[in-house]
Chains A and B, each alone.
Chain A
């Protein structure tokens, strides 16, 4: 059974996003096996190609899927804006085309060579245009909304779009010699832009998280409560100023370090606090009705707490000295992108698809159940192995007992094998969870065409 709006652009965004996830996961799996094995596929696809392919495609998954959610929810709140639908189609087409060009560039070995933004700089232009279209669509849709009384998700989606554009532009300041020729300035601004950019897409995702919570619980007060807004502004402050904890080792002004340390990482605590408060207010019947999205939100709760403890710990300069540049930083990034972002995105995806294609959660019940548990258990092993490997590496490198990179890597190889094995489990879990959605979407398309 399907709801009436079969051509909703949000559904196509989500499906494309999940296809990007599967492709990105495949390259991540190859990269993980190359990390622990000397020559795995290295002639065909060396690590310096698999890593950017993995990073870019996973980032694209997060952005496209989160945007799809925002489009879907905005359309539910303010239906029938045809120009917005048309522009959304253009946005998705342009982004997908750019993604294909970037993949070809990486396979060909053509790079821009900047961390996380490793594609040639000229390709940043169509991506920027996509975001400007997104911003125009957002503004067109919310025309007439009174921000004084609007729920928190309007603020979070708007903030996410605005700050993504700002930080994306900022990440290309290195094109000017003033920034490029001073290595301290170049690295600091790069960390600044990337750190805040992650905060920007978090705003998009968390905004959708609040929307789902409101709809499942039927409680409209939480998304408008002064306490919720207090935490939103605290989160925004973190987005703007807490990136500096990545840069303790960069020799810039101490004021930047102190600012980051004082602001600290409280954003995850904020969300955990609100989600827990919301969960308490749910009745058992409501919980059962929306079981799958609820389950993913609950998992994100756990990952928020684990990552919060880690984030606070590594923000302490004395600890950061040991953890920075080790696999502990990778554990932090993976815990946040898979444990928090991906869990909330899957909550959003299954909320939307079970609303739209009501049979999906029943038809794929077992597959979703196994996918959920395989993903979470594997992620825990993945996260723990990275923490232990990072701890050993940091201790040996800083305490001077061993400064030989190769020997250190030899000492942590067992933990890296566990990391690669857990990576296989994560991939299986993600495939099990993404495929029902993709299959349902294409089956419905086929049905419509027939």
Chain B
């Protein structure tokens, strides 16, 4: 078998093994599982449905017109009330989506989930 083909197969195998590592042990880093409750899952779905990622980042992924949201819910001077005020009325470039109370609670639960997960690693 030509050396080039052997080199390709070897690299491809290493890529497969590394991918498996990333899918399992490499990302199994939470000290204690942070539960994705029904409310969190609904919040995440809403986050995607409204395309929040176009303006905000989570763990560095997303747009730059709004602030990074990974730990924003636990930042001093912010928190649930601050987030709820923004979600209910919008601000400058942040549109008012006319969220219901339930929707706002779900989004806040999702933000808390991200925040807790980022801090709960081994």
Q: How far is the CB of B67 from chain A (nearest CB, A)?
A: 4
B29 touching A252, Cβ below 8 Å: yes
* B residues 51-110 touching A (CB-CB < 8 Å): 51-55, 57-68, 70, 75, 92-93, 95
Q: CA–CA, A256 to B62, complex, Å?
A: 21
B55 touching A189, Cβ below 8 Å: no
A48 touching B50, Cβ below 8 Å: yes
Which residues does chain B contribute within 8 Å of A192, judged by CB atoms? 19, 22
Most buried by B among A109, A246, A253, A259: A253
Picked from A51, A111, A246, A259, the residue with its CB within 8 Å of the CB of B60 is A246
Tell me, yes or no, whether A73 is within 8 Å of chain B by CB.
no
Tell me, yes or no, whether A359 is within 8 Å of chain B by CB.
no
Given contacts A188-B26, A247-B60, A251-B121, contact A48 B54 (CB under 8 A): yes
Q: How far is the CB of A109 from chain B (nearest CB, A)?
A: 8
Stretch at the interface among A288-296, A300-308, A323-331, A360-368: A323-331
Residues 64-75 of chain A, each 1 if its beta carbon lies under 8 Å from chain B, else 0? 000000000000
Picked from A111, A182, A241, A406, the residue with its CB within 8 Å of the CB of B48 is A111
Which residues does chain A contribute within 8 Å of B14, judged by CB atoms? 240
Q: How far is the CB of B24 from chain A (nearest CB, A)?
A: 9
Q: CA–CA, A313 to B120, complex, Å?
A: 30
* A residues 11-36 touching B (CB-CB < 8 Å): 34-35
Picked from A46, A113, A240, the residue with its CB within 8 Å of the CB of B15 is A240
Q: CA–CA, A183 to B112, complex, Å?
A: 12
B58 touching A111, Cβ below 8 Å: no
Q: CA–CA, A84 to B56, complex, Å?
A: 43
Pairs of residues from A and B, 5 with the lowest C-beta to C-beta distance, nearest first: A113-B48, A185-B27, A251-B121, A111-B51, A405-B67
19 more contacts with CB within 8 A, not counting A47-B93, A187-B58, are A34-B65, A35-B65, A42-B93, A48-B55, A52-B54, A111-B49, A115-B61, A184-B29, A185-B27, A185-B28, A188-B26, A192-B19, A236-B8, A250-B59, A251-B117, A325-B68, A327-B64, A329-B60, A405-B66
